[in-house]
Structure 1
């Protein structure tokens, strides 16, 4: 399957470099470029990308606000933040806005491709520095694993292994629909928004040590 990508960055040299690299990937099609969030939203309506690679700091509309618009209005489009900033002032708002991936511009090209493929597969893909920021700044409200049922805890443990819903279902001999129900309950009890936050919280608080 060809993955259609829209690039969004206000630095022309960055766009040129990304354009050159992505055009070498047989399974990735570069469908358009934009230099700010407003232009990106216009291009989305025209180009219908699968993935948007977007910077954070841009004129007119920044990447975080654009991400919020995209995830709310185009839920099937995956958004990957590609920026130079890894501090919490950018990381946390981007994740809360719904970004599916967050990579720094020093990322190796093959890791960038892996990130694009991962988000298309429904996974989150974060730069290690970003993961550290999330783990450091997650609010500690003293939740314990006891808030979960034994089955929910088992599902969460598999989430920390990076397994997909399909893999968890096969491992536990249950349906994917049942896995999704457990995950919805887990998110509600843990007060998190996605599996990445749930996994990071469980790891940080040593729920499965």
Structure 2
């Protein structure tokens, strides 16, 4: 059972109607919303100032994304529990959430009861993903994250440059290393990510997963 009297919330969404609807639903059900924000910068300020029990955040917001808000807040040592509330079901978003060790991930299609179930789990130091996620999708995300965690710092740097469509020679010039060294790193990355061998396989994969890679 949730003790609503001691629970404080910050909510953030850049869609005015969704933000207003979420605020109304929370307050109507007895929750204490101490701040609401329509962009990531304001959300971060509210979290650091109000120190809420839970922050319920959209991903796609101006100035700072929900993920960026969480990353910066955690770097400042906040004890707030973070729950994403989004339309995004794609694996790359789930991987980012898992990498940031976000406490909860809900979908905007979920019923209000799902939010309350999520609250109960995260308040007991658990991690909760919406029941709308297929189990296989969550397992795939965990597997992809495990593979990315195998990369060395040098390989991550090169992967980020590949995602920016830099050629092998451009990367070599940027890092002041030989093209052969870059090719060796690319080969190692392909092996660790279990990608098929091929001229453009790594580049194609990096472009598809660019948003995730640039967050590494």
Quote the residue 2:12 is aligned against. Answer: 8
1:131 CA drift (Å): 4.4
- Structure 2 unpaired stretches of 5+: 147-216
CA RMSD in angstroms comes to 2.0
Distance in 2, matches of 1:72 and 1:78, equals: 14
Quote the residue 2:143 is aligned against. Answer: 139
The equivalent position to 2:63 in structure 1, one of 54, 60, 73, is: 60
Quote the residue 1:85 is aligned against. Answer: 88
Verify: 1:71 aligned to 2:98, yes or no. no
1:116 CA drift (Å): 1.6
Three-state SS of the structure 1 residue aligned to 2:121 is helix
Three-state SS of the structure 2 residue aligned to 1:82 is strand
The equivalent position to 2:22 in structure 1, one of 18, 43, 67, is: 18
Three-state SS of the structure 2 residue aligned to 1:76 is coil
The structure that has the greater radius of gyration is: 2
Quote the residue 1:122 is aligned against. Answer: 125
Three-state SS of the structure 2 residue aligned to 1:123 is coil
Does 127-136 or 106-115 show the bigger shift?
Answer: 127-136
- Structure 1 unpaired stretches of 5+: 142-209
Contact 1:71–1:97 under 8 Å retained in 2? no
Three-state SS of the structure 2 residue aligned to 1:57 is coil
Distance in 2, matches of 1:5 and 1:74, equals: 18
Change (3 A) 1:132 1:18: farther
Q: Normalization by structure 2: what TM-score?
A: 0.60
Which whole-Å deviations, capped at 9, do the CAs of 1:13-66 have from their partners, x for residues lacking one?
A: 11111111101223x211100112211111123222110000111111101111
Spell out structure 1 runs of 4+ moving beyond 6 A.
none
Quote the residue 1:106 is aligned against. Answer: 109
Distance in 2, matches of 1:55 and 1:116, equals: 16
Change (3 A) 1:123 1:138: closer
